[in-house]
Structure 1
Amino acid sequence: MLRQTNQQPITALYPRLSHEDELQGESNSISNQKRILETYAKQNGFSNLRWYTDDGYSGANFQRPGFQAMLADIEA
């Protein structure tokens, strides 16, 4: 069953950088990921951008604060 809502859908953008990724340099940085994600979203007509960011968390850990906030917004 689909929920009826008057809210505009969000576009969830989720950059994440683990401690191991920090060693890779600027190419994997949060700021670089944000720039790439925002450019893609704008070029493809996505609006109502909402950022969820986890810096320094392993992808194996599902208790990341930004990830949990994103899931909570999806379920709302």
Structure 2
Amino acid sequence: MLRATEKITALYCRLSQEDSQEGDSNSIINQKNILMQYAREHRFLNPVFFIDDGYSGTSFERPGFQAMLDEVEAGNVSCVIVKDLSRFGRNFAMTGMCTTITFAKHNVRFIAINDNYDTINPNSTDSDFAQLKN
């Protein structure tokens, strides 16, 4: 396991074929820009992108997601940041299991920027509605 200052901040982007019809607002480039700006402004260390382009959020069998999860389980991640909860996943049960069980077990903070969701702050504005948004 790495020391806290050596751990990475996982910046996760996902775009499904259906989402691509919405245009640039959900594009991978747009998500990367938002995530990197947030990481810099909030001084998150060692940002690393994990990207799934063309994958549905209903399945968690996505290569970028699985690579990120491997790093989490190896103890190499301090925080996972996504643009919003829908980019992380659209399966309510699996999303909840990852954010409240797997990430908690490995002391990984989870942030969904646009949903104002942060596991370090249980009183974040939208924490009560996070499950509904998935």
Q: Which residue of 2 aligns with 1:63?
A: 61
Q: Which residue of 2 aligns with 1:47?
A: 45
Q: What letter matches 2:3 in structure 1? A: N
- Whichever structure has more strand as a proportion of its residues is 2
> In percent, how many aligned pairs have the same letter?
56
Moved over 3 A (4+): 4-7
- Tell me by how many angstroms 1:47 deviates: 1.4
Give me the whole-angstrom Cα distance separating, in 1, the residues matched to 2:39 and 2:24.
21
Q: Which residue of 2 aligns with 1:25?
A: 23
Give me the whole-angstrom Cα distance separating, in 2, the residues matched to 1:28 and 1:64.
18
Q: Unaligned 5+ residue runs, structure 1? A: none
Q: What letter matches 2:31 in structure 1? A: Q
* Higher relative contact order structure (alpha carbons within 8 Å, sequence separation ≥ 6): 1
Q: TM-score, normalised by structure 1?
A: 0.90
Q: What letter matches 2:73 in structure 1? A: E
Aligned length: 73
Cα deviation digits, residues 35-60 of structure 1 (max 9, x gap): 00000000000010111000010011
Give me the whole-angstrom Cα distance separating, in 1, the residues matched to 2:18 and 2:38.
25
Secondary structure of 1:52's match? strand
Secondary structure of 1:15's match? strand
Secondary structure of 2:48's match? strand
Q: TM-score, normalised by structure 2?
A: 0.52
